[in-house]
Amino acid sequence: MAMKEILWLISLLFLVLVVKIGAKAPAIIVFGDSSVDAGNNNYIPTIARSNFEPYGRDFNGGFPTGRFSNGRIATDFISEAFGLKRAIPAYLDPGYSIKDFATGVTFASAATGYDNTTADVLRVIPLWKQLDYYRDYQNKLKSYLGKGKAEDVISDSLYIISVGTNDFLENYYTLPGRSSQFTIKEYQNFLITIAGNFTKKLYDMGARKISLGGLPPMGCMPLERTSNFMGGSECLESYNNLASEFNGKLNNLVIQQNKDFKGMDMVFSNPYDTMLDIIRKPAAYGFEVTSVACCATGMFEMGYACSRANPFTCSDADKYVFWDSFHPTEKTNKIVADHVVKTSLAKFL
């Protein structure tokens, strides 16, 4: 037997053993936006990418994977905490196969949202298409493990959803379409309906353990603080209040669906309070800078504007809460992930 076949057999037997001994989560399966995209946008025609330096400079090997950070993102740390891989691969990355995806995969796409029109802004992958990819994944998993074992993995895996910020900042408050159709409260309810339909579809496809993620204090992102020059570049409290209000609606959705759907075990994972505490008391977490990001001037740059050639990029990202004007550093991601693992996700460990 060739060495390649031996290694494949060992990995298959290990996964089967994990399922048989009743592991809480044999895989982490991820949907969402740039907060959890590990590089899917590298393989679609969009400008919403980060597969270039200085992104990924603190990732293993200093490689820019397409994660919107200097290193790992929150779901990578969650996967490691669950005893799985250190980094969850992107489903569209041709460098990985179903053998890699069997214990963790992300279908997420930077710049997407609950609302399909949000995904249209930068031509990224909408949630309905992420579900299509997941359906394809299920078929591949059944071919790889066999139908029975694959169904065990599907039902026992932890599903993580992290999306919503772009619907407000990239869509509603930036473009005229949705803001002319809905008041902000109506738009929140519109998004909550979409979120509920999405989690119901996941449930119908076999998912049972689901983490529905909340919004961060988005008024404290450097991009929003920069735009608040009349307010002394402080956090935009109106955006923070909106995020907090929307999070309350998401939490209510979780409570209701757990009542409605037999066997569903969904939790609300809220990054808001932890992120806000970091921003308000940075020294307590070992940070020095909260108002601007590490990359470039730190005021407005992200994506291609966050260039390797920019001379203003900081030398030590660990001193900064934010990597670019929209996304946290690896250090911040780890703190938030650790908190979520110890709180909302603890029941699944």
Active-site annotation holder among 34, 50, 162, 344: 34
Catalytic site includes residue 115: no
Which of 324, 325, 339, 344 is catalytic? The answer is: 324
Confidence of residue 5 (pLDDT cuts 50, 70, 90): low
Top-confidence residue, 229 or 258: 258
For residue 149, what are its two tokens? 């074992």
pLDDT-derived band at 15 (thresholds 50, 70, 90) equals low
Q: In the numeric block, which tokens belong to residue 318?
A: 């660990």
Q: Is the pLDDT of residue 98 over 50?
A: yes
Q: Are 192 and 254 in contact (CB under 8 A)?
A: no
Does 34 participate in catalysis according to the annotation? yes
- Confidence class for position 2, pLDDT limits 50, 70, 90: low
pLDDT of the residue at 19: 44
**Residues 105, 130 contacting (CB under 8 angstroms):** no
Region of residue 126 (phi > 0: left; psi between -120 and 50: alpha; otherwise: beta): beta
pLDDT score recorded for residue 6: 47
Catalytic annotation present for 324: yes
CATH class of 23-274+327-348: alpha beta
Q: How confident is the model at residue 230 (pLDDT cuts 50, 70, 90)?
A: confident
Per-residue pLDDT reduced to its tens digit, 39-83: 999 999 999 999 999 999 999 989 999 999 999 999 999 999 999
Q: Enumerate the H helices of the chain as residue ranges.
A: 3-20, 74-81, 98-101, 116-121, 127-145, 147-156, 165-166, 176-181, 184-204, 222-227, 237-260, 272-280, 330-342
Please tell me the distance from the alpha carbon of residue 302 to that of residue 35, in angstroms, as a whole number: 13
Tell me the per-residue pLDDT of 119-143, one tens digit each, with 9 for 90 and over: 999 999 999 999 999 999 999 999 9
Nearest CA-CA partner of 24 in 161, 201, 211: 211
Q: What is the pTM of this model?
A: 0.93
Q: Which of 37, 79, 325, 327 is catalytic?
A: 327
The domain segmentation of the chain, as residue ranges, is 23-274+327-348
Mean pLDDT across the stretch 295-316?
92
Q: What is the mean pLDDT of residues 299-304?
A: 92
